[in-house]
Amino acid sequence: MRWFWLTFFTVCPIAAVVLCVVAPGLDWWFPGEAGSPLGERIDSLFYLILYIVTGTFIGTQIAMVYVLWKSSKKDDERAWYSHGSHNLEVIWTIVPAGILLFIALYQMDVWAEFRVLSKFPKEARKAPVAEVMARQFEWRIRYPEPGRTLQIQQQPTDLYAVNELIVPAAKPVMIYLKTQDVQHSFFLPELRVKQDAVPGQIIPVWFEATKPGEYVLVCAELCGWGHYKMGARVVALAEEQFEAAMEKLAEEQSDDGFADAGESDDE
């Protein structure tokens, strides 16, 4: 039995440390690599916390093992009770507080860039690409007509889509997030974006898909029985393709069923 516990308490911390080290390489905690520059910085914050926690873990384990090992040899020495030691209390309050303060300050600019409108990249702020209206249980999207800017109010020339948000890749884009009914949450796991949609509010959200491709868009706020239905996609396209896609959307939107009669209905 002695050997069992000995092995157990040796293996567990070692396994924990090994896992901490290999985790980043195994894509365990993140849904793939961050697809956006800000996402990478958010990830690096997670890694920073991982390093701090791992370091703390290793330090405390070593200290504990040392104490156990050392005191197991001495039968005659009396134990020292640290309860009520003012100095120790101060130390273990100040050290973690210092670490937390450091994390709080360190992440501030990332957080500000993610959430504070005035810190958003200028080009994204200037030209929001779309309004995303969450509703039970889908995402309704409104784009400005190519060449125009998105207005808060609906415009006669606006383009509409559902469950597919097309954005240009490799540049910061901003959307206006709204909800028609209850609270939803706009979640792009691969781009590390998660923002609640709150009734009555228009919330600007920005992100940048580094590479063109399809990204998952889901609702991350339990919004009703059909919550699971709110799966959609964000399609990031190279600038030219994005423009072409908008033109195509505009064309579909103005379909009068006449010019290509007989072929238009095969969607």
Partner 1 sequence: MRHSHYGVLPVSIRQNSNILFVLACGFLFVGCDAFSPPDAVFVVREETNQLTSNVSNAVEAELDNSFGNPHQLVAWLKLPVDFGGVMGATEESTLEGPLNKFPVTFDTEADEKFIAQFQNDDGDFKFGESGARLDWMTGEYAGKSMQVIGYDAETQLLTTKEKVEVPPAAGDTFVLSAGDTLKSGRALYMEHCLHCHGVSGDGNGPTALYLNPRPRDYRLGQFKFKSTKPAEKVRQEGLGRVIKYGIPGTYMPSFLLLEDEELYAIVEYVRWLSMRGELEYRVDQELVLASGLTNKIIAERKADGDDSEEIQEEIDEAVANMPVLFDDLAGQLAESWLLAEEEGSLIVPAVARVEDSFESRARGRKFFLEKCTNCHGHKGRGNGSMTEDYQKNEETGELYAEPGLFDIWGNSVKPRNLTQGVYRGGRRPVDLFYRLYGGIGPSKMPNFATTDPQILWDTVNYVLHVPFETPGEYIEVDKEYFESKKKSGGDEEKAADEEAATTETKQTATGSTESSDQG
Chain positions contacting partner 1, by CB under 8 A: 136-138, 140, 154-156, 160, 162-164, 225-226, 229-233, 252-259, 261-262, 264-267
Residue 184's SS3 state is strand
Give 13's contacts (C-beta < 8 A, 6+ positions apart).
Answer: 57, 61
Beta-strand relationship, 159-162 and 184-188: unpaired
- When the beta carbons of 55 and 199 are compared against partner 1, the nearer one is 199
| Residue nearer to partner 1 on the CB measure, 126 or 148 | 148
Select 109 or 252, whichever has its Cβ closest to partner 1.
Answer: 252
Pull the structure tokens for residue 125.
């702020």
Residue with tokens 């125009």: 148
Nearest approach in angstroms of CB 145 to partner 1 is: 13
Q: How far is the CB of 171 from partner 1 (least distance, A)?
A: 25
Three-state DSSP at 263 gives coil
> CA 112 → CA 104, 117, 264, distances in Å?
12, 8, 47
CA distance 65 to 248: 67
Q: Closest distance between partner 1 and the C-beta of residue 222, in Å?
A: 16
Q: What span, in angstroms and rounded, lies between the C-alpha atoms of 195 and 201?
A: 12
Between 113 and 164, name the residue whose CB sits nearer to partner 1.
164
CB of 229 to partner 1, least distance (A): 6
DSSP state of 79: P
Comparing CB distances to partner 1, the nearer of 28 and 258 is: 258
To partner 1, the closest distance from the beta carbon of 164 in angstroms equals 6
